[in-house]
Structure 1
Amino acid sequence: MASFNPEQTTGPALAVAQAPAAPASVADEPLFIDIVKRARQLKAQTEAYRAHLAKTDQAAAASPLKGFDAFAGRIGDLAALDMKGHVTLKERGAVDDLKCILRGISQDLPEKLAAVRAATTIKAQDLALRDMVYLLNDNVEVITAPPQPAA
């Protein structure tokens, strides 16, 4: 009791580790709404290509896909929008994973498209299109999922 001083604070505050706050969602912003809309449309078209290929002999030579050049152009546009999303988040100082994922998707979309073009059999075309479906689905889910703090 002899060392008690009523004007003295109780001592240094204890450090409490706090979990980083989750970043704000971008799912309602026009750029990201557009990305999600386009990715969903392209995913549906990719699934339609796969459904068409499923009706043919898997060992047969790859066949031209109806409207593929226009599809390829829309994939290129989506890849550019994903990169724009990455740059937008980077300029904001975002530290979450979304900016990195968008950059990766922007780089992977042209590679998946090249794999579809390079396929020599129906089976190879279908596998390349399957990979494209997964990537397009990821494109939607990373934007629409609730934001998570940086890892």
Structure 2
Amino acid sequence: MTLMVAPLSACATTPASVNAIAKEQPYAGIVKQSGALKARSDTYNKAPSLTLLNNAKFQAFVADVGNLSEQNLKAHFDMKARGTDNDLKCVLKGVSIDLKLKHDALLAAKTDAELKHTLTELSALLSDNIDVITTPATVQSGMDCVLEFGASGT
């Protein structure tokens, strides 16, 4: 009996494909900014303190979160104008809304624990923002914005 072994190169996994739109603007910019904001969020979350609210760098970070919310909404409208990928169009709008909520929650935090909770949620949302843009659509994707946000939400 002869044991056949496949060459190592045949066993190597191929890198996951990346959605082509992730290379276009504004999507590439959103991915880049989301990654940078996630790193900053994770750094602030190591020692969250309400004293951060008076820190100029933290205030700039919060403003950048608000800006990213606006960029996601613009990307939503770009997808709508293209008439393509209803799923991504809807998710970008949802991320925009959620980023605005996190922005407001950062400013409204009353305890270190609230700030930590918001930074943790923000970090996860920023990861999601990257993933939804970089991951190619599948046959199963296809959210309907009208169902998600109502007739005015498309």
Please report the TM-score for the alignment, with normalisation by the length of structure 2.
0.72
Following superposition, the deviation at residue 30 of structure 1 comes to 2.2
Matches within 5 A, 1:70-85: 70-85=60-75
For the Cα contact (< 8 Å) 2:62–2:106, is it kept in 1?
A: no
For the Cα contact (< 8 Å) 1:25–1:147, is it kept in 2?
A: no
Quick one: higher RCO (CA 8 Å, sep 6+), 1 or 2?
1
Quick one: percent identity of the two aligned structures?
36
Partners of 1:122 and 1:69 lie apart in 2 by 16
Q: In angstroms, what is the RMSD of aligned CA positions?
A: 1.6
Unmatched runs of 5 consecutive residues or more in structure 1: 1-23, 57-61
Aligned twin of 2:95: 105
Unmatched runs of 5 consecutive residues or more in structure 2: 1-18, 143-154
Aligned twin of 1:37: 32
The residue type paired with residue 63 of structure 1 is T
For the Cα contact (< 8 Å) 1:50–1:129, is it kept in 2?
A: yes
Hey, which of these two has a bigger chunk of helix by percent? Answer: 2
Aligned twin of 1:90: 80
Computing the radius of gyration from Cα coordinates, the structure with the larger value is 1
Number of residue pairs aligned between Structure 1 and Structure 2 = 121
SS in 1 for 2:21: coil
Kindly report structure 1 stretches of 4+ aligned residues shifted beyond 3 Å: none
Please report the TM-score for the alignment, with normalisation by the length of structure 1.
0.74
SS in 2 for 1:52: coil
